[in-house]
Amino acid sequence: MKGSPFSALPRGFLLFLLILRLPCLLYGQEPAGSRFALIPEDPRLGDPVTVIYAGAPGQGMKAVLLDTGGRRLSQAFFFSLPGDGGEDSVKAAVLAVPSTAKPGPAIIRVEGENGKNAAGIPLVLGGREFLAEEIYLDQENTDIRTRPDPQKNIETAQLSAILFRTGGDIFSGGPFTAPVTSTRRTGFFGDRRIFRYADGSRDTSIHAGIDYGVPRGTPVRACASGRVVLARFRIVTGYSVVIEHFPGTYSLYYHLDKIQVEEGALVEGGTQLGESGATGLATGPHLHWEIRVAGENTDPDAFIARPVLDKEAILDKINKVAVF
């Protein structure tokens, strides 16, 4: 029997070819005339990823991040990104790489409204180290975290309904700015936390944002333009504000001492939202700030580092991609 024409090639090169072909083998060919691109192409755990699509209009399209075993890690719906001349053919979806994902090869699958797969885009998730810390809670904070309360369930459901909602408005594409001028941080994105309760028991969690160790009364400002979609007291997070910036992407500000904006208000970046405090589950005055993308926690520093919806960069990227 003759050997395969590929038998003389190095195994590493064959694996590379397989990875390139895997999306098409598993999920089908891209529709004719379509283009897909990612920014960045090599995201780390916790990073936001902008998935760009140019081609025939599609309704209800979404991007789904999968590990090599086919497990869904996160997903986000596409929304229109008007192009030059008022065109509406370029769409974007911003999804987050969970901090709990496994580094290595992964796939972003583009799905149509009927569940039909339009494309599979290979990528490699970069690893990173996260800090570990123990937090000792007094009885009051232990009760806030552990005691059953129907109101907490209501508040959790209300927040989830907001954070998993994908609207159609783009108020700001970034880059974002930090909500306080202080650079002192007492908690970091992705911290692996152990809570020590007053009765000696323990529980674990992953920190969803950044904690700024600032005195009570420090002005807290909007990190970017947007619409205030929540401004109220919550049992666990105290006085809280949530702002929608573009479809599926929200910034959250917790443990405030007071709120100075109302739900439904449109705010510019830098608008004072309130003052920092220690309301809700807090061991001292600070501001907890986080960014959610389609409900998933993502690293706020990534939004400070680059504009996630940079129209010029998006159009430049997609225009360099070959048409399928």
- Residue 241 above 50 pLDDT? yes
- Residue 24 above 70 pLDDT? no
- Report the pLDDT value the prediction gives residue 322, as an integer from 0 to 100: 59
Task: pLDDT band for 58, please (50, 70, 90 cuts).
Answer: low
Question: What are residue 120's DSSP bridge partners?
Answer: 109
**Mean pLDDT (whole number) for 2-12:** 36
- Report the pLDDT value the prediction gives residue 103, as an integer from 0 to 100: 97
CATH assignment, 11-128+310-319: 2.60.40.1930
232 against 8, higher pLDDT: 232
The domain segmentation of the chain, as residue ranges, is 11-128+310-319, 132-293
Nearest CA to 244 out of 256, 257, 261 is that of 261
Beta strands in 12-131 (DSSP E): 35-39, 48-54, 62-67, 72-77, 79-80, 90-96, 104-111, 117-125
- Report the pLDDT value the prediction gives residue 321, as an integer from 0 to 100: 77
Contact in structure between 76 and 89 (CB atoms under 8 Å):
no
Q: Quick one: fold of 132-293?
A: Glucose Permease (Domain IIA) (2.70.70)
Across the chain, what does the average pLDDT equal? 88
Distances (CA, A) of 52 to 73, 89, 110, 154, 310: 19, 11, 10, 36, 11
Question: What are residue 53's DSSP bridge partners?
Answer: 36, 91
**Mean pLDDT (whole number) for 263-271:** 98
- Report the pLDDT value the prediction gives residue 33, as an integer from 0 to 100: 61
- Report the pLDDT value the prediction gives residue 28, as an integer from 0 to 100: 43
- Report the pLDDT value the prediction gives residue 57, as an integer from 0 to 100: 65
- Report the pLDDT value the prediction gives residue 54, as an integer from 0 to 100: 87
94 against 55, higher pLDDT: 94
- Report the pLDDT value the prediction gives residue 4, as an integer from 0 to 100: 33
Which of 13-17, 107-111, 271-275, 318-322 bottoms out in mean pLDDT, i.e. has the lowest?
13-17
In 3-state terms, the chain is what percent helix, strand and coil (to 5)?
Answer: 20, 40, 45
pLDDT tens string 277-311: 999 999 999 999 999 999 999 999 999 999 999 98
249 residue type, one letter: T
- Distance in angstroms (rounded) separating the CA atoms of residues 155 and 250: 17
